[in-house]
Structure 1
């Protein structure tokens, strides 16, 4: 006995009914969406704003293009200038033009003022006899200057007899002349900054004297010098260490 066949739920009459119901439901949903879409009013398109943005975009593109062209043109011009400069030949330096002989101005020497060079002052003890050369000797005491010559005759010049004002710069001059020359000596006083004592002889000759002083810088001292013939009438000048003339004794 053959059993009765059971209908397939996926292909039988039940399946057909289900499919028909599903299609009907889809149609109802489609109609509902259509009705809703028909009732919606779309918002207007912002045409003015879109046009403004379009114009701005075009301006930006034109500006960028112009800037690029400007930079390119400047680079091209610079390259051309460099090329021209490099190709330009260098010119030799102009030769110096010698002045004609008539235009040469002779150089005139500038006169200079001769400043006497300071002479060191020798400090000696009271009564110490100093060999002044050629048989002459000189020494100092508290009373003043003493000297003797080759003949042994002794002389002196006082600074305490009232004939010399040691508060004012000054000089004295004693000389013994001979055809072979002469010995000159004297006092200088009135300064503790003596720099030089000079004999001024004939023809502008100048002879610096040796300077002697007692210890303690008493403000006076003795000078002596040897000079040639005819210096008996020599003038005398005393300067300080800076070269300033302190006292002068005419010849």
Structure 2
């Protein structure tokens, strides 16, 4: 089957399955059926525009996140208190979601969810059970109309084309060369490479996460891991995905990409093919060292993602983005260290790939 037809059929099946539940949640959020139907349609349009990058084992989260954020629209601090409270109450008492997942959907902490929920519950009379019953009654009265699938797909395609044009223009202006630095590998010597002098070591952090657990990596940037790859979203390239299938799972390696985020660079990549969890990941430009944070999946050692947000000097930017790693000097690049301080994977072949 042609790729376009497969994408169409894949999305159509998902949209039909999501539509009734989507309308119910939209109705709870908006308190108005026509507005709820428009919100549900707009949500599916946004999902279709990003469908190629939506991991199929994480569709429900993506759909629900687009629904809630489409409703709130503006950044969290600017959203009205009533809308914030209602979103939290609907997700908590209408959808039955745990506070941690609500926080991931809204991009806030679990503590903030609890705070808003307490205030919202108090404002609604303080009776949680009554809220659950009220939401259930509203949900029971919703009779889903037919899904306007053709209109959704048409609008989704148009939105995807606009996003592609904007992204291409932004990349051409902001980055001298766009894409990801090619993967470097460590020769299978059986022994790690020395990490240099003790005084030059920069200690980062390693965090073990559950599948799908969202981590706020930078302003507007979320990262998470699933069993088949790593995912993240940024303001420039929403729901961007890098899967392990692009790389060998058996030969040690690490990748690097750089994206502008709020006047700085968000540096990130995959490491893979190593034994156990890393001790740390460092990026060196020759002029400075940057300690990266590391996310690794619980029960799945040997691969994960690293990231760091930093400003770059003109020399650093030239070395990392313009020239590529093949033109940097011997100790520069990205290195993955084990707990003993030996290099187990490094990026040392350069060049930008599309």
TM-score (norm 2): 0.36
Specify which structure has the higher proportion of strand. 1
Specify which structure has the higher proportion of helix. 2
For CA contacts below 8 A with separation 6 or more, give which structure has more relative contact order.
2
TM-score (norm 1): 0.49
Structure with the greater alpha carbon radius of gyration: 1
